[in-house]
Amino acid sequence: MWIRQFLKQKYMQNDELLKQVTERAQIWMGEGYDAETRAEVKKLLEQEDKTELIDAFYRDLEFGTGGLRGIMGVGTNRMNIYTVGAATQGLSNYLKKEFAELDQIKVVIGHDSRNNSRKFAEISADIFSANGIKVYLFESLRPTPEMSFAIRELGCQSGIILTASHNPKEYNGYKAYWNDGAQMISPHDKNTIAEVNKVAGIEDIKFQGNPELIEVIGQEIDDIYVNKIKELSLSPDLVARNSDMKIVYTPIHGTGVKLVPAALRAFGFTNIINVPEQDIPDGNFPTVASPNPEEPAALNMAIEKGKEVDADIIMASDPDADRLGVAVKNDKGEFVLINGNQIAILLLNYIMTRSREMGTLKGNEFIVKTIVTSELIKTIADKNDIKCYDCYTGFKWIASVIRELEGKERYIGGGEESYGFLVEDFVRDKDAVSAIPMMAEAAAWAKENGKSVYEMLQDIYVKYGFSKEKGISVVRKGKSGAEEIEAMMKNFRANPLSEIAGSKVVLIKDFATLKGTDVLAGETFTLDMPTTANVIQYFTEDGTKVSIRPSGTEPKIKFYVEVRGTLSSPAEYEAVNAQAEDKIKAVAASLGV
pLDDT in tens, 266-279: 999 999 999 999 99
Beta pairing, strands 365-370 & 410-416: parallel
Q: Is 175 helix (H, G, I), strand (E, B) or coil?
A: strand
For residue 578, being part of any structural domain is answered with yes
Give the pLDDT score at 6.
Answer: 40
User: Do 40 and 66 fall within a single domain?
Assistant: no
The CA distances from residue 576 to 233, 313, 456, in Å, are 34, 25, 17
For residue 525, being part of any structural domain is answered with yes
**What's the chain's average pLDDT?**
94
Domain boundary among 217, 252, 284: 217
Q: What is the pLDDT of residues 295-330, one digit of tens each?
A: 999 999 999 999 999 999 999 999 999 999 999 999
Interhelix angle 35-46/15-27, nearest 10 degrees = 160
Of residues 59 and 542, more confidently modeled = 542
Q: How confident is the model at residue 459 (pLDDT cuts 50, 70, 90)?
A: very high
User: Do 400 and 549 fall within a single domain?
Assistant: no
Q: Is 374 within 8 Å of 346 (Cβ atoms)?
A: no
State the CB neighbour count (10 A cutoff) for residue 65: 19
Calculate the CA 180 to chain-centre distance.
18
Residues constituting the chain: 593
For residue 185, being part of any structural domain is answered with yes
User: Do 312 and 362 fall within a single domain?
Assistant: yes
The CA distances from residue 64 to 70, 533, 551, in Å, are 11, 11, 9
User: Do 453 and 305 fall within a single domain?
Assistant: yes
Whether 467 is a known active-site residue: answer no
Is 7's pLDDT higher than 80? no
Give the pLDDT score at 477.
Answer: 83
Give the pLDDT score at 2.
Answer: 37
User: Do 295 and 393 fall within a single domain?
Assistant: yes
For residue 536, being part of any structural domain is answered with yes
User: Do 264 and 391 fall within a single domain?
Assistant: yes
For residue 484, being part of any structural domain is answered with yes
- H or E segment at 444? helix 432-448
Distance CA 134, CA 398 (A): 28
Give the pLDDT score at 59.
Answer: 87
User: Do 251 and 302 fall within a single domain?
Assistant: yes
Distance CA 565, CA 143 (A): 38
Distance CA 45, CA 37 (A): 12
For residue 106, which of 175, 156, 176 has the smallest C-alpha distance? 156
Cβ-Cβ contacts under 8 Å for 401 (sequence gap 6 or more)? 368, 389, 391, 414
Q: Strand order in 106-111's β-sheet?
A: 68-71, 171-177, 158-162, 106-111, 134-138, 214-217
Count of domains for the chain: 4
Q: What is the pLDDT of residues 221-230, one digit of tens each?
A: 999 999 999 9
Distance CA 111, CA 489 (A): 34
Beta pairing, strands 106-111 & 134-138: parallel
User: Do 450 and 486 fall within a single domain?
Assistant: no
Q: What is the rounded average pLDDT of the residues 574-588? A: 97
Interhelix angle 432-448/340-358, nearest 10 degrees = 60
Cα dihedral angle (509, 514, 517, 518), rounded to 10 degrees? Answer: 80
For residue 1, being part of any structural domain is answered with no
Q: How confident is the model at residue 4 (pLDDT cuts 50, 70, 90)?
A: very low
Is 45's pLDDT higher than 60? yes
| CATH number of domain containing 534 | 3.30.310
Is 12's pLDDT higher than 80? no
User: Do 50 and 72 fall within a single domain?
Assistant: no
Domain boundary among 201, 217, 233: 217
DSSP label of 323: B
For residue 335, being part of any structural domain is answered with yes
Give the pLDDT score at 1.
Answer: 40
Q: Is 96 helix (H, G, I), strand (E, B) or coil?
A: helix
User: Do 376 and 489 fall within a single domain?
Assistant: no
| Terminal-to-terminal C-alpha distance of the chain | 13
DSSP label of 9: H
Q: What is the largest CA-CA distance in the chain?
A: 72
For residue 413, which of 383, 368, 448, 476 has the smallest C-alpha distance? 368
Q: What is the DSSP string of 384-432?
A: TT-EEEEE-SSHHHHHHHHHHHTTTSEEEEEEETTTEEE--SSSBS--H
For residue 336, being part of any structural domain is answered with yes
Give the pLDDT score at 8.
Answer: 54
User: Do 248 and 343 fall within a single domain?
Assistant: yes
User: Do 213 and 241 fall within a single domain?
Assistant: no
Percent of the chain at pLDDT above 90? 89
Q: How confident is the model at residue 114 (pLDDT cuts 50, 70, 90)?
A: very high
Domain boundary among 464, 496, 520: 464
Cβ-Cβ contacts under 8 Å for 155 (sequence gap 6 or more)? 106
Is 551's pLDDT higher than 60? yes
Percent of the chain at pLDDT above 70? 97
Q: What is the pLDDT of residues 350-359, one digit of tens each?
A: 999 999 999 9
Give the pLDDT score at 68.
Answer: 85
Q: How confident is the model at residue 196 (pLDDT cuts 50, 70, 90)?
A: confident
Q: Is 95 within 8 Å of 107 (Cβ atoms)?
A: yes
Which residue range(s) make up the domain with 207? 62-217
Q: What is the rounded average pLDDT of the residues 78-82? A: 96
Determine whether 407 is exposed, middle or buried from the number of CB atoms within 10 Å of its CB (0-12, 13-18, 19+): exposed
| CATH number of domain containing 343 | 3.40.120.10
Candidates 92, 165, 235, 418; catalytic one: 165
